[in-house]
Amino acid sequence: MSATEPYHADHLAWMGLALDEARLALKTDDVPIGAVVLGPDGGVLGSGRNEREAHGDPTAHAEIVAIREAAAALRQLAHDSGASGDGWRLEDCTLVVTLEPCAMCAGAIVLARIPRVVFGAWDEKAGAVGSVFDILRERRLNHWVEVYAGVREDECAALLRDFFATHRVPAVEHRPV
């Protein structure tokens, strides 16, 4: 895993918002991962939780849901103020998520131009921010991201561990016939 920036006190509170979203995913039997996108002022522009089971959508990861909501909010703000703005560039925003983003979500973060990502637990099997890949800090790409990892890591990991402990079916013992 790659070294990360030390996190700030605000990150702890923001992770609480992401954890609240993660717990809401339990209602639809989705993996409890939550995310929030914060604007430059620290206000929430978008929030999301895993909704793959709820919507039958393989792209409905918490980060994607939050990024889409934040982009819509920025488009609306630009429209309401008469300013120009496309809404898809989430410059000067921060994404906070309870689990290290996967390759799909890391790609979306880069394409949305999000400059900062804060995450809780590492994902040793599919993480794309240092565990398996490091897409957010890939120098060959046109956008790089500051990463703050391990924020409330134990709490984020415990939520996932508890979920999977109740959803795993014990392996069937194989006996010779």
Which is catalytic among the residues 63, 100, 124, 173? 63
Rounded to whole angstroms, how far apart are CA atoms 104 and 115? 17
Query: Binding residue per annotation — 102?
Result: yes
Instruction: Respond yes or no: is residue 51 known to be catalytic.
Output: no
Query: Binding residue per annotation — 55?
Result: no
Residue 115: other Cβ atoms inside 10 A? 16
Query: Binding residue per annotation — 156?
Result: no
Cα–Cα nearest to 47, from 18, 25, 71, 13: 18
Q: Which residues are annotated as a binding site for Zn(2+)?
A: 61, 102, 105
Active-site residue list: 63
